[in-house]
Amino acid sequence: MPQPKQVRILYLNRHDKLERTLFRLKQGYELQFRLGPSLQGKDIHVHTNYPLDTHKFERHQFHLLNWQNTSGGDDSDKYCAIIVQMSGSFQFHFIEGNNQKESSGYIIVDPILHVGHDNQVLTLDSICAQTFLAKCLGPLDEWEDRLNVSRHSGYNMIHFTPTQTLGLSRSCYSLADQLELNPEFSRADKTFNWNDVARLVEKLKNEWKVLCITDVVYNHTAANSPWLKKHPECSYNILNSPHLKPAWLLDRALWHLSLDVAKGNYQGRGLPAYIENEHHLNIIRQIIWEDIFSKLRLWEFFQVNVDKVVAAFRNVLINGEKKKCDTKQNLKVIQDPEFKRFGCVVNMSLLLKMFVPHGNSPHEIDECCGWVFRKMEELNMERYHEVHSHQEQAVNCILGTITYERLAGHGPKLGPVTAKDPLVTRYFTYDFEEVPFEEEEPMMYLPEKAVYFMAHNGWVMGDDPLRNFAEPGSNVYIRRELICWGDSVKLRYGKKPEDCPYLWAHMQKYTEITAKVFHGVRLDNCHSTPIRVAEYMLDSARRLRPNLYVVAELFTGSEDMDNVFVTKLGISSLIREAMSAGDSHEEGRLVYRYGGMPVGSFAQLSVRPLLPKIAHALFMDVTHDNESLVQRRSAHDALPSAAIISMACCASGSTMGFDHLVPHQISVVEEERLYPKYNPNALPDSPGELSEKCGIIAGKRAINLLHRELGAESFSQVYVDQVDEDIVAVTRHSPNIHRSVVAVSRTAFRDPTYSHYKTELPTMCIPGKIEEIVLEAMTVQRETAPYKKDKDFINGLPQYTVDIREHLQLKQSRIVTAKETSKERNDYVYEINFENFPPGSVIIFQVSLDPEAQYAVGILRYHLIQFNPFYEAGSIRDLKAPPALTHAFISATASLSLSDLNMLLYRCDFEEQEDGAGCYNISNFGPLKYAGLQGFLSVLADIRPKNDLGHPLCENLRAGDWMMDFISNRLIARGGALEVIGKWFEAMFSYLKMLPRYLIPCYFDALLIGAYSVIMEVTLDRMSSFIQNGSTFVKQLALASIQMCGIGRFPALPQLSPSLKGVPYRLNYITGEKEQCCASLAAGLPHFAAGLFRCWGRDTFISLKGLLLVTGRAPEARNIILSFASTLRHGLIPNLLGHGIYARYNCRDAVWWWLQCIQDFCTLVENGEDILKCPVSRLYPTDNSPALAPGTVEQPLYEVMQEALQRHMEGVEYRERNAGPHMDTRMRDEGFNVSFGVDLETGFVFGGHRYNCGTWMDNMGESDMAQNRGIPATPRDGSAVEIIGLCKSTVRWLMNLSKKSLFPYTGVKRQLKGKEVFITYEEWDKKIQDHFEKNFFVSGDPNDPNEKYPNFVHKKNIYKDSYGASSPWCDYQLRPNFPITMVVAPELFTPEKAWKALKVVEDHLLGPLGLKTLDPDDQVYCGFYDNSVDNGNFNIAKGYNYHQGPEWVWPIGYFLRAKLHFSKMIEEKLYEDTKYLVKHVLSHHYDHLSKSPWKGLPELTNENGAYCPFSCETQAWSIAAVLDVLYEL
């Protein structure tokens, strides 16, 4: 079965700093760039230098990627992609519009390595590399015999130090000729060349299955390189780098000091040639300060000639012409670029501005020149102090070097000072005849000589690796901070090939030779190699060998800085040193750090975000730069530490000499002996020969072969256990076949010959069934002659070897005994007792699951194949499947209704409590957001990418089966289609429960993810084509209709007419009688989810279009409309529905939203007008009638609608039933009085008064302390702007319906002066049309004849929030309500005025997710809602400011729809720009929705999008309003 394509998604965001972020991909992966929230809705262009149409890579050639999936209304699925098919480093960047580059980053694509004639893939984690010093291999025709040691030690990669001609120092890394094979590899009668090396390398690859890599050294060349003499411009010399002159002069002075000390010239001052103590160091310090610095006067190179400057100043004062200059800059010394003594200058123009004589007399000019003289002296003194600080550091560094080289116990103890071993290493070459020091300074100014005074290379401790320490601006050389390699010259490339053509061309040839011959390169001294040079050279190499393996050693001091080199150069593996570990605990930590995922990790999705990674490691037990492990630790530690390192899930490596226990560092400079050859019969002390019996070679072979096998077979999970201070257990686990290898090593960081180790060792437990002991090995001593350093061959300690036994049964072990301590639920656990496990020992177990668990996991994987073919590996066909599993899961979902899906996926705690249960509660975490699957998946979505196996949810799963039982039992108890799903889960969980506990979280996640993916397909298939074809954002929003729309234990809606067809029924859970079970909409979760407070008229009908009509759920929408129709009373529908019986008729706007929804139903649903004739069973046919049984009084819907309009036209006044504090403790008595009507002149609906609040801004004060109880914060009495819009929309629609004979009424009646008058809908419509804008638009013109209260205007070019309020200033408050009218009745607005008003909303009210409910400039504005605060502040106590500033989400939908509508009317370009704005605004909602565990949008946020803990976490109208926008887009 084909595996799913691997896709990684990189989300781009403004101001991302990705240059130091490491993104790694494998070849064949698809990389998608998607826009993050900060860029959605922007004109973004992504460019990459990954070659699109050709395999030729050009680093500086970028291509524009084309966007895909751009047809939707948002940018959530918009992406551009590349499929990576070649290895290396590739850059990308993005720009907005025509702006500069916004942000950039790199992706690294791993190479694919092949070995053998059949080109087997060698994975990077399978690499076992061994380093050889090439110069110690002898003639090329002897290499095979010597390299055979590596082959028989189990290595599959050989790293050669450079194979080119070496310099005079004989250092492996000081090359005299980069293009020539080292002539030492030839014989007198046989000359070998690169072709011979290439043939050998190819043979090793094909026959031995061993790859070969070598170093490339770009940073320096040997000081005696012949080509350097011809091309000295390739070096940093004091001709092309004159800033080094003072450092060169100091270097020469120190050289002469060395000669004088060596000759005994300072004997009289107490300084012998043999430096032995601190006293001698103090004498050297004194000599340098008194004899050298005082004589050199280095500060003069950084100072001005005071007399010369003053003279020039005087001359200009008298005769010269003054030039303009920037007087804001400070006067400072300008360094002489040639670095001559007193060659520095100052800005004369600035000097003339700063120092002005009082007059032109000679005395006044002299006085002014005196001021300048003193200023110059002051500046020179500053430079003197700067140089003095350099000199202080130089002395400290000089003495530090002398201390290390001659006094320190861990140093080389060089002995007496000589010309060969001077006091300090020279920093510069000097190839001329020695002359007295006094004669050397003039040589600096002779170009023919200065060009050969070349700076040596080295490294600087703690320096910035991105800074070239030899360039101007660096003081490393004069401060003597360089740890110098006196045999090599630092190369000066410049910034591009044109700066030093010969050097770039020479090194490119060197690189190409290397790439043709070898399979990979190690970048020597990578941290000091100019990145642009390494990029250029590696590009050349990859053109010849596309799958070049690149390794490097970095000493940058930080992972962040490492990434700069790794990302730009495409480094495949970074060398990591195990010798940096000071104890076994740290060594184990490094294994965990550099290799693998935790055991029991979650299976990651094939399409997932691209996450940053750490650099792949080549983890080495010892490098050729490290001192010998025998010196640093003990010979006994070689085997256990090698085993620990080889168990890391990364490449591993070593250095030739480690395995046969060479007791000293094999110096890359001084070592001239040859490596031994392989001879299977060699004795421990055979000169020049090695066998598997030598050192730990036999153990290393077994360990390396195991490492290779684990890497090849994807044992990708790692667990490190510190058993005690010396014992480390490392587990490698295969997530496919669930086998493990456990290596237990007892380290010997201290020599057990001389150090005490415990004899009583702790037991350890190994879960699972131990199949075999892969190997057990001990480091043992044998009787041999003592070690003696061989003069011809690199030999090791002969007295140590490995006692190794492989593939044993437990009972055959000589090291451990084991007993099975637990077999509960098929969990085998072995208790391991260490009977004979001395330091230097290793035992490795192969562990499997017990047979029943292995069978169960195979069956489980078989059933998971239907979700992901990844699980085919290790699967076992289920021949005895329980009935629930005999068919694919999708068949179990066939009978699910959308209401069933609400139960399956969602239902918050309050909804579940209605059924006597609740959401699942996790210890140390709390209850989940939902009882359905989404509750679990929301938490798993955070756990999975991070493999957070310590999360309380995972702990809960490992501790018991409660979570699984909760899921299955809850569904089974529901019966019907949900029971089928519950039985499926129960059956799957029965297998899951048989697994070891550590595996349950990952398979639980896989099971839920698989089932959820199918459920999503089923859910979306039952929705509208808009949803099915919509973006991810649209689909996620649409799921909220499942989230909010459900059926509780008790019917929330009044019953529909018995004669109505298509009504769902069920059996009552108590009586068993048939009852209606229509789905209802919750206003918001968790606060408005169940019981009396679930359904609200206003919330329902603001939400209904987006959640039910746009999603294609017309039957549910119809039933809700008709159900609310049955409750009509006083011409209103209730706000709080209360099952219809406990309804409150205290809102003026809900009926208009209901009428708007009927209009939307007729418009959006096929044959939607049929709803007008549907029977409505009236609950209250008259205002005073009791609640009637369904079917008692029935009317078609159109009559109920007509009644609502008729009652409004007539005008209504009433007092709420059951009025009083028992019904509403917050309300004043006057607040229960309700009135509304229609102004016949304007056609405006009006109503309310100062003590009640009949619109959506309905917060009533409740604080006695603040004295706001019973006072509405926002009464909005009079004519609220959105009600006028909704009324206009309804009247216009009914006018048109009646003209088409689809509505039997043409108008309404009204008593006027005792007579009944008939007002047609056409007349009503015209009245509103004629009066709206002149009464609502705030022009800001004081002479506007329509403006009654010009003094209340504080924002112009807006529309009033209301008209005719009892407090007139409230009409003029800027609030987010008029955009609602713009959407439902856009004909009321002049487009240009509307656009200006919307701009004011955008500038003042727009927040990240919602609109501020009040102008921030308003005196009562407060953007933070806190319902718990009860203080004396009238405006905020007990959440009084609920609608006085906090940013509500649902109005933003109407604002955006209004913007779209009017921009399209005004201008096409404006419309396109507005679409970008809309997409950008909605990106924040997508981001919130994706991250929210509730998978919804909140009711409101605090100021600027801040989280509000008192808000509903997911609100129906918030989601619906956003979905409406996307529908229109």
The most distant pair of C-alpha atoms in the chain lies apart, rounded to whole Å, by 134
Cβ-based neighbours of 638, under 8 Å, separated by 6 or more: 621, 629, 630, 658, 659, 661, 695, 696, 779, 840
CA atoms within 13 A on the CB side of 646: 31
Measured CA to CA, the distance from residue 638 to residue 630 in angstroms comes to: 8
Between CA 172 and CA 178, with CA 175 as vertex, the angle to 5 degrees is 125
Q: Is residue 1105 within 8 Å of residue 1520, measured between CB atoms?
A: yes
1228: left (phi over 0), alpha (psi -120 to 50) or beta: beta
CA 768 to each of CA 820, 822, 1218: distance values in angstroms, whole numbers, following the listed order: 10, 10, 70
Count CB atoms within 10 A of the CB of residue 1463. 23
From 177, 524, 562, 1361, active-site residue = 524
Measured CA to CA, the distance from residue 1266 to residue 31 in angstroms comes to: 59
625 is catalytic: yes
CA torsion, points 1241, 1244, 1247, 1253, in degrees to nearest 10? Answer: -150
Is 92 buried (19+), middle (13-18) or exposed (0-12) by CB count in 10 A? Answer: buried
Measured CA to CA, the distance from residue 1334 to residue 1346 in angstroms comes to: 6
Between CA 488 and CA 497, with CA 494 as vertex, the angle to 5 degrees is 105
Q: What does the DSSP assignment read for 576-636?
A: EEGGG-SSHHHHHHHHHHHS-EETTPPPPPSEEE----PPPEEEES--TTSPPHHHHS-GG
Least Cα distance to 579 among 802, 756, 749 occurs for 749
Q: What does the DSSP assignment read for 103-166?
A: EEEEEEE---EEETTTTEEE-GGG-EEEEE-GGGS-SGGGHHHHHHHHHHTT-SEEEEPP-EEE
Q: Which sign, positive or negative, has the C-alpha torsion 180, 183, 188, 192?
A: negative
Q: Which two tokens stand for residue 948?
A: 């957070």
Q: Which two tokens stand for residue 323?
A: 């030039």
Cβ-based neighbours of 1510, under 8 Å, separated by 6 or more: 1425, 1426, 1427, 1428, 1439
Count CB atoms within 10 A of the CB of residue 364. 13
Measured CA to CA, the distance from residue 853 to residue 738 in angstroms comes to: 10
From 220, 256, 390, 527, active-site residue = 527
Cβ-based neighbours of 652, under 8 Å, separated by 6 or more: 127, 128, 129, 618, 619, 620, 621, 645, 646, 704, 707
From 291, 583, 625, 790, active-site residue = 625
CA 66 to each of CA 82, 138, 169: distance values in angstroms, whole numbers, following the listed order: 10, 56, 56
1280: left (phi over 0), alpha (psi -120 to 50) or beta: beta
- In single-letter form, the type of residue at position 560 comes to D
- Per DSSP, what are the bridge partners of residue 237? 454
User: Interhelix angle for 962-974 vs 952-959, to 10°?
Assistant: 80
260 is catalytic: no
H, E, C per residue of 1111-1159: CCCHHHHHHHHHHHHCCCECCECCCECHHHCCCCCCCCCHHHHHHHHHH
- Per DSSP, what are the bridge partners of residue 64? 47
527 is catalytic: yes
Cβ-based neighbours of 709, under 8 Å, separated by 6 or more: none
Q: Please, which contacts does 193-202 make with residues 24 or more away whose CB atoms are closer than 8 Å?
A: 194/513, 194/516, 194/517, 196/140, 197/140, 197/163, 197/517, 198/516, 198/517, 200/140, 200/143, 200/144, 201/517, 201/518, 201/519
Please identify every residue annotated as catalytic: 524, 527, 625
